[in-house]
Structures are given as C-alpha cells and as structure tokens.
Amino acid sequence: MKKEMSISKKIYLGLLVVVVAMAFTSCSKKIAFKTSTIVPAARGDVKIKKDENKNYLIQIELENLAEVSRLDPQKKAYVVWMESEDSMVKNIGQIKSDSKFLSSKLKASFETVTPVKPSKIYITAEDNADVQFPSKQLIIETKGF
C-alpha cells in the first residue's frame, strides 16, 4: 500500500513539474533570425516575453556579427527596429560594436521593453544611431511572428 502511494506521489509530482515548466516556457517566444546576405555568418535569436505590467520584454542574442566599421560601405551603428502589428516601425535601440559589448567571438546582446507587441524585429547598419527610418542596408531580420 505504501509503495502504491509512493508511485502515485511520484507521478503526481512529475506531472506537476511538467505543467509548471510548460507555464513558464509558454510565456515567452523565441524566434531565430534569418540568414543575412550582408553578414552571412551572423546568427541570433529574439526572445519576447510579456511581463507583469503587460509590456513586452525583447531580448536579442547575436554571434558572429561583424563590427559595423568593417561593413562595405562602412557604417557607425547597428540599429534594432521593431515592426508592430499595425505596420508601425520604430527604432528601439543600438547594438554597440565596441569592445565593451562585442567579445572577441563577436557576440552581442540587446534588451529593451516596449508597450507595443512586436510582429517583426530587424537590424540595419546606419550612419547615425538615432535615425527615425531604417536604411536599405538590412543586416538581419526575423520572419513575422
């Protein structure tokens, strides 16, 4: 009888762990960037999670992203853009390409919060980080989500 209770407790505990794990992973969405034609070695993904204030936390992890000054033509900044469901495009920040943010393995990360749900994220190379509209030098982008 004790052995049966022990087995049923283990099953119950196992199911509980699975349900809790699914609850945490279902709250965030992870999307891979498509392969870049300008920097083909660049890889990365975007994680989007709704926080307790109903804002969207956007986290980007990149690797093998060439320094922006090595592009042809040279640029000064990588700018992250967010497109919303109503096709609004917004500059949400800059990925720094100096030694503080990019390691020798060319890794970079970016994080921001927005009240608007993103439908697409992409990165362009720009002459100025505070531009209001993206240039045509698209470095890397996600598919729509």
C-alpha 58: how far from chain center = 6
Quick one: pLDDT at residue 98?
A: 46
Domain ranges of the chain: 29-141
**Residue owning tokens 């990019």:** 102
Sites in the chain below the pLDDT cut of 50: 1, 25-26, 98, 100
Quick one: pLDDT at residue 97?
A: 54
Q: Residue 74 and residue 76: Cα distance in Å, rounded? A: 7
Interacting residues of 24 by C-beta distance below 8 A, sequence separation 6+: none
The two counts, helices (H) then strands (E), for the chain are: 1, 8
